[in-house]
Amino acid sequence: MPILGESNSLLFTVYIDAIFSSDTSNIAQFKYAWLIDASTAEEIKSDDSYGVFKVRTANDAYISLSSDSPVSLSRNNDTTVMGNLKFRAADSANLRFYPLCNILIQEPMK
Average pLDDT, the chain: 88
pLDDT in tens, 32-75: 888 888 888 888 999 999 988 999 999 889 999 999 888 889 89
Q: Where in the chain are the domains?
A: 1-42
Query: Residue 59 contacts by C-beta under 8 Å, 6 or more apart in sequence?
Result: none
**Single-letter amino acid code for the residue at 60:** D
Q: What is the pTM of this model?
A: 0.57
The C-alpha atoms of residue 26 and residue 42 are separated, in whole angstroms, by: 39
Give phi and psi for 47, each to the nearest 5.
80, -5
| Residue 109 DSSP class | P
> Which strands, in side-by-side order, build the sheet including 63-66?
49-50, 53-58, 63-66
pLDDT of residue 60: 85
In DSSP notation, 20-68 reads EE-SS-EEEEEEEEEE--TTT-----TT-EETTEEEEEESSS-EEEE-S
The C-alpha atoms of residue 96 and residue 73 are separated, in whole angstroms, by: 10
